[in-house]
Structure 1
Amino acid sequence: MTTSLTLNNGVEMPAVGFGVFQTPPEETVDAVRAALRTGYRHIDTAAAYGNEREVGRAIRDSGLDRSEVFIETKIWITDFGYEETLHAFEKSAGKLGVDRIDLLILHQALPERFDLTLGAYRALEKLLADGRVRAIGVSNFMREHLDRLLAETSVVPAVNQIEVHPYFQQPDVLAADAEHGIVSQAWSPIGGITFYRDSGHTSTLEDPTIARSAQAHGRTPAQVMLRWGLQRGRSVIPKSTRAERIDENFAVFDFELTDEELIAIDALDTGVRGGPDPEEVTLADFGWEIAEA
């Protein structure tokens, strides 16, 4: 199976990325170093995570050429607006220690101030045209947000990073992405702790359907869920700070789930979201300031 996806502008993106959401800065350098040693070549961070500087340091420390590592980061809502987002790029690039970012995306749709969202996306279009970024996209955009964006801008997002795991699959958003040639990128692809802690469900790691596939292939439940996402054409962004889990989450390219197994996992959707509802992300509740570089 291919280990990369071709975005709608021709850029190649490694299909499995290494995520650092909720990874404390002091743990980020070691985690990213370990991921790069394992073979990950796609690191996903965000201005709001507060660890871009440490991601950049780990990449520099790795000894890998800059061109070998695909860096993805996100603009937070407090930096939305045209000029604000151009400056937010400078902040992120400065912290990462790079001149160009491979994939730069808007972290939320911010429906209450979509005028700011549009201004931010137009800034991404400018950065793309100027060669400062190689691809642009969005995160946590629902179908209606995509429709509004596409009606007002000229570059179709290359990626939409959304919550997708067996218990929450967002079929309408996945379909909307597919209709426009947008790669769906799954955050929390193994149904992270936020989901089962807050939803009343047990962990996807304990699901009997997933466990049966894991046993059949001699794999772990996490590997089965990542493989399911990849075979459904998605990019997946697992995260961990533990070396053995970092290795485990990358070892997903040498086995294949059957069509029956894929369909069985598709059937596990509960429709219950684990992360914040994109409609409820507002500047009043989520307006964190992003530090300067």
Structure 2
Amino acid sequence: MKKSFGSIIRALRAKILKLKSAETQANERVIGSDQKYKCLQVSSQAHRKIQENITLRHQEYNLQVHQLLSLIKQTLTHTGPQLSPKRHLEIIKFCLEQTHLLSAGLISNTKKEPINLDVVLQEIQLLLSEKIYKANITLEWACSGNVIFYGDTLFIQLILANVIARAVHRISKNGKISITVTSQNKFIQFKLQDKGFPSKREAEEHVKRSFNFVIAEDVLRKMCQRADMSYTYSRNTDGYNVNEILIPTLPEVCTDSNVIPLFQ
């Protein structure tokens, strides 16, 4: 039985709609792939930038240790300035601390430069953009008051990046991470909240595989403590993980704990 003209038209329309739907889906996949590639590229560039800065800092540590050990050698061979036994111990202690940082891939809080936390958070968002995009995570922050202070930008960036990265990797898809930054007298308060599951060992290993600058939780606390920063974590009754860091805003005087002059 021959098909009527009307049925042929309806069949053609159905095929056209199907083709248009397939074209739309293909375009969406192309756009999604393009966005995913851009996020990967941005994240890789941010990783490379931080790695280069860490490498430069480690080169500075190497140079300091080399110069100080050469100074001790000159003292022992009487070819240079004579140092007191106390000074010897201070230099040796400093060199041991620097070599420990080098072996652990860490840095200390030694620089004093103006830091804008809003800019630091933007850079961390770029660093984690691939994971944020894949899991459709909302990362939002609000800065109130004067959030510009003096400190070590790279040190602060590594501390905050670790806290935020853990939240990004423990939260479920389509989750939300909220950050508030406020100025409180002599401190800047950084407060992060999310409803992800508390980090377990497996989650920690996952963070390590996708984030190159992971610092163990206990080491992170010690680094904050040595920099006169307060770092706390808790889970409140509403089911939120709460990370809070208090950062001193007044520039402290560099001491022998972080800088050893060659001659004194």
Q: TM-score range by the shorter chain?
A: under 0.3
Q: Normalised by the size of structure 1, how large is the TM-score?
A: 0.23
- Structure number with the bigger relative contact order (C-alpha 8 A, sep ≥ 6) is 1
Structure with more helix by fraction: 2
